[in-house]
Amino acid sequence: MTWETLTALLTREFRALRRIPVVNFGFATQTVTNAEELRCEELLCAERVDAIVRDFARTRRWPSLDEKERFFLRERIRFAYEYCSLAEISIRRPITLATRPHIWNEQRRLVEWLMIDLWRKSGVANWLDPLIILTQSDSTALTEWELHIAE
């Protein structure tokens, strides 16, 4: 598997997630005023989203998702896509980086590594740190801001 095939897979699945109906509404459109609350929400959903990723890596199908699961899953896919786009510049084969040696299927191994292991190791921090810095700043010009998710 190449970085190109991985980014194509991630792009396709990001688009597929947009078409999945959600169970409840409002979470993803709320104004972000406290990044720590968002971090707590991500941690509360993390185990379930990990299970969803493992299931998808095995079956190539998404289960029913609630709005928070879909939101956090899309953020993981977005991070994985960006990581792949950068890594292909310096690393020839993605499998050389992937952990989870007990998984023999290369595509499954890479999907789980990118969207579970790498997300937990550096994705969450890269995603939340800028929000935390902005919400903790003393700037009065940025009193309220919103997190917009591209569709």
Domain that holds residue 114: 3-19+32-136
Domain assignment present for residue 93? The answer is: yes
Measured distance CA(58)–CA(32) in Å, rounded: 34
Domain assignment present for residue 83? The answer is: yes
What confidence tens digit (pLDDT) does each residue in 46-101 have?
Answer: 999 999 999 999 999 998 888 889 889 998 999 999 988 888 877 777 766 666 66
Q: CB count, 10 Å around CB of 23?
A: 11
- What does the DSSP 8-state code read for residue 100? -
Domain assignment present for residue 49? The answer is: yes
Range 123-136 average pLDDT: 75
Domain assignment present for residue 150? The answer is: no
Q: How many domains does the chain have?
A: 1
Domain assignment present for residue 13? The answer is: yes
Q: Which of 144, 16, 126, 26 is nearest to 80 (CA)?
A: 126
Measured distance CA(106)–CA(144) in Å, rounded: 44
